[in-house]
Structure 1
Amino acid sequence: MRSRLLTSLLLACALVPAQAAVSVVDDAGRTVTLARPAQRVIAMAPHVTELLFAAGGGPKVVGAMNYSDYPEAAKKLPLVGSNTQIDVESLLALNPDLVVVWHSGNTARQIAQLESLGIPIFRSEPTRLEQVATSLERLGSLLGAEAAANKAAADYRARIAALGARYGKRSPVTVFYQVWDSPLYTLNDAQIASDIIRLCGGRNVFGELKTVAPQVGVEAVVARDPEVILAGKRYDPANPGLKLWQAYGGMTAVKRNNLFTVDGDLLSRPGPRTAEGAARLCEQLETARSRR
């Protein structure tokens, strides 16, 4: 009897699948390998926090960067610094088995320091709409949450595809995206916001510039005469926002009242909510077309 019982137990143990190692390639082209799915994850940028929660990893996120304010549960996470300065001591105290960083936004020296301590690092830098979906899938693999992550990716892809089918072939609209007022900054085509503009049938008038976030002059914007000017919400009353352009009544965007406020988080934080921001922007560009 004992022999049969022991044999049964050994067979049962053999049939239980071991947690296999998981490997993915991050946005910097580096392979990230974990011996088992991550259980304690730190998000080093607001968009990373959103991606991790959307990929089914919310309960496993134990720390975050400042401005990680979505979803609501993220506001309760311990903070481990800012994009310019990581509080390494606080981060290590959380005992992470995976840190997801913003590749171009976090401090390279401190990221290297974390790697030297043996902490697995996934570098996140989605610059195209499709990369939001692949980010969800890859993070889902690292979290052992493939089902939730794959569903989120599929839902997102469906929303983006529907917008592309509806607006992508409409008559082109030239767009200036005013990221900051003073000095005046915009984005080039290497940013996801420009990919959204393209999805909606628009064209970024400064998209060809080599600098990711170039500073431009008012005269340069006037010379390019965009049909639409986009700007984020004014958080500081001293910033002129879209009022900056009221003095330039000869511009097409001003004459046609195509001065639109956008939610910068929805356009610049790559995550599932990007589809919501894209839908709003497509509607604004369609409004501009109706005013011709």
Structure 2
Amino acid sequence: MRRALLLSAWLLAGAAQAAISVEDGAGQTVTLARPAQRIVSLVPHATELLFAAGAGDKVVAAVDYSDHPEAAKKLPRVGGYTGFSLEAVMRQRPDLVVAWRDGGAAREVERLKRLGVPVFVSHPLQPGDVALEIGKLGRLAGTEAAAERAALQYRQRLAALQQRYGGRAPVRVFYQLSPSPIFTVSGKSYIDALIRACGGVNVFADLPVPAPQVSTASVVAAQPQAIIAADGAALDMWRRWKALPAVASGALFTLSDDAVSIPGPRLVDGAAALCGRLDEARQRLGLTAR
């Protein structure tokens, strides 16, 4: 009997020490011998993902603009959008670093890996990837239960928006990222997926890059029924084009850049705001649900 108990205890101990492996956004396997206790986040959206995954108390440093949730504002800074200090990161003695595939510090990230620091590369391409990464980061941090709850809640809210708005009358949308030069989003951007979830049709969905530059003439030719930008100043440039359906009906809307520019758990809040703008456009255009 005693031998059986000892064997069970040994097996349980072995299970507790089993390595944790997940595939990151770059398709690489990240393996930890035990749950991470000291995590450095090198991109603001990853900071939000970690807190959502229940690992906020394990995050020991972050980069500039990691200001959500409130507790993230108090974290030491190791860099910003353009790069980070390798020395500052290493001073934190991290057992996991979360980086961004599209960030501007690829060389420094590779140096971290050569120094033996496990790196999870975050790369959420679609809204659903947010929930996937919350779950993966939760596994790496040993907070899987909390992470799965947050991921499920996110998925449920996103699905509810799709069910509520996805079947409504389509609205042709021009989503403006910047006014000069004019940048927008294509079908390769997760923002396009949000537009579609709200029943919208992105007028530049067919362009080949996620954030293409377009001309004034191409926007006018696309005849959008709604124009959405981060601020009113960007919308003013279109008011002289009276024949544009969006201008004629007054379907020019602002949407906080922060609402949809950060692919983290708050993305579903931005999606809800976007759906509301498109529903208002339908009312102004006199469209009815199909």
Specify the TM-score bucket, using the shorter chain as the normaliser. over 0.9
Q: Post-superposition shift, 1:245? A: 1.1
SS at match of 1:73: helix
Q: 1:162 to 1:24 in 2, by over 3 A?
A: same
Q: Post-superposition shift, 1:5? A: 11
Hey, what's the Cα distance between the residues in 2 that align with 1:291 and 1:196?
21
| Corresponding residue to 2:242 among 228, 239, 249 | 249
Letter in 1 for 2:250: N
Alignment partner, residue 270 of structure 1? 263
Hey, what's the Cα distance between the residues in 2 that align with 1:197 and 1:124?
23
| Matching of residues 81-230 of structure 1 within 5 Å | 81-230=79-228
Q: Post-superposition shift, 1:19? A: 2.6
Deviations 1:54-88 (CA, angstroms, capped at 9, x unpaired): 00010001111111111111111111112322111
Aligned-CA RMSD value = 2.0
In the alignment, structure 1 segments of 5+ residues that lack a partner are: 235-239
Asked if residue 22 in structure 1 is aligned to residue 20 in structure 2, the reply is yes
Hey, what's the Cα distance between the residues in 2 that align with 1:272 and 1:89?
30
Deviations 1:19-59 (CA, angstroms, capped at 9, x unpaired): 32100001111111111111111111111110000000100
TM-score normalised over the length of structure 2: 0.92
Q: Post-superposition shift, 1:10? A: 8.9
Hey, what's the Cα distance between the residues in 2 that align with 1:110 and 1:15?
39
Alignment partner, residue 261 of structure 1? 254
Letter in 1 for 2:264: G
* Deviation larger for 203-212 or 66-75: 203-212
Deviations 1:177-232 (CA, angstroms, capped at 9, x unpaired): 11112211112122211110010011111121112221111111111111111111
In the alignment, structure 2 segments of 5+ residues that lack a partner are: 286-290
Hey, what's the Cα distance between the residues in 2 that align with 1:177 and 1:14?
56
* Deviation larger for 24-33 or 267-276: 267-276
Number of aligned positions between the proteins: 284
Hey, what's the Cα distance between the residues in 2 that align with 1:233 and 1:19?
51
Contact (CA 8 Å) 1:192, 1:267: kept in 2 or not?
no
Q: 1:14 to 1:31 in 2, by over 3 A?
A: closer
Contact (CA 8 Å) 1:44, 1:106: kept in 2 or not?
no
SS at match of 2:201: strand
Deviations 1:137-161 (CA, angstroms, capped at 9, x unpaired): 1111001000100000111111011
Displaced runs of 4 or more, over 2 A: 4-19
Hey, what's the Cα distance between the residues in 2 that align with 1:139 and 1:291?
43
Alignment partner, residue 75 of structure 1? 73
Deviations 1:88-118 (CA, angstroms, capped at 9, x unpaired): 1111111111111111123211111111111
Letter in 2 for 1:196: L
SS at match of 2:182: coil
Hey, what's the Cα distance between the residues in 2 that align with 1:55 and 1:233?
31
Hey, what's the Cα distance between the residues in 1 that align with 2:255 and 2:68?
17
Alignment partner, residue 31 of structure 1? 29
Hey, what's the Cα distance between the residues in 1 that align with 2:11 and 2:158?
44
Asked if residue 280 in structure 1 is aligned to residue 255 in structure 2, the reply is no
